[in-house]
Amino acid sequence: MSIAPSSIAVDESRLSRLGRRWSWVAVLVVGLLLFWLIRSALVSTENPNLIPALIFFGAALVPTAFVAFVAGRRLDFGVGTGVVAITGLAGGAIGVTTAGFLEYRTLLLMKFLPMLAVGLIEEAAKLIVPVLLLLIIRDRHPGDGLLIGVASGAGFAVFETMGYAFVELIQSNGDLSAVDDLLVWRGLLSPAAHMAWTGLTAAALWSAAAHRQRGRSIALFVLVYAIAVALHTTWDSLNSDLSYGVLATVSLLLLVYTTHRLAAPRRVPGALMAG
């Protein structure tokens, strides 16, 4: 009795999709284990050399898992893992540096820093690497903009959280519990903040490029960018758990809606075998 090659191809395709769909769970579990091991070693040895590793894993855990979660959705992606990783690293570093410089210059010029300026600057800074990739990548797929935007937002969130955690560690005189609270709070909110907003704007940017810069697509991108800036500005202007919850819900719902709009049609086994 022989097994048809087409059946093997279908099974391998299903296993591949299943593995990609649930890879975020593995990222989350392994990351939590590493964070716990590093923290336990830091507490038991009191070795300050472990602090950078603790802050890095604490800041990167949820954003990395969320990028893996988005990459496992039923979308048409053309970019590989390497491009996504580089986007997260370069997008975060360039975005945070650019935003920090422009915000500082704005503060010097205006003598104060309006929250609207922060939103405009940071949402633009996070798009620098996605724009560069858009100019380089010719084989563009509908889901690439969303994934690249989420990755760039993740990198920005990681670097920003690491900075806040470092400052909190100094101001609290080395209180690890205060740092833990900050890492957990910012980590849980990151998918509904920087990652969602940049994912939405980058997806709209990719759509505009795919439609050869038609006026309607460009107008849609401007609208989505304005919405991201408005959400960002409102987030920075409020200081209420309820307000953050409402804004997080709105941001994630917009991301879910965009994901469904970009979702690739399901391919049934018969279609696979026919191909």
Residue 268, pLDDT score: 43
What are the two backbone dihedrals, phi and then psi, of residue 78, each rounded to the nearest 5 degrees?
-115, -25
Classify 264 as helix, strand or coil. coil
Higher pLDDT, 142 or 222: 222
Residue 166, pLDDT score: 95
Residue 37, pLDDT score: 96
CA angle at 132 for the pair 77 and 236, rounded to the nearest 5°: 90
Closest-CA residue to 256 (of 188, 187, 192): 192
Residue 204, pLDDT score: 94
pLDDT in tens, 53-102: 999 999 999 999 999 999 998 888 889 899 999 999 999 999 999 999 99
The answer, yes or no, to whether residue 170 has pLDDT greater than 80, is yes
Classify 98 as helix, strand or coil. helix
Kindly report whether the global pTM for this prediction surpasses the value 0.85. yes
CA angle at 83 for the pair 50 and 38, rounded to the nearest 5°: 15
List of long-range contacts for 136-140, beta carbons under 8 Å, 24+ apart? 137/78, 137/79, 139/78, 140/78, 140/206, 140/209, 140/210
Mean pLDDT for the chain? 88
Residue 264, pLDDT score: 54
The answer, yes or no, to whether residue 134 has pLDDT greater than 70, is yes
pLDDT in tens, 211-251: 765 788 889 999 999 999 999 999 999 888 899 999 999 99
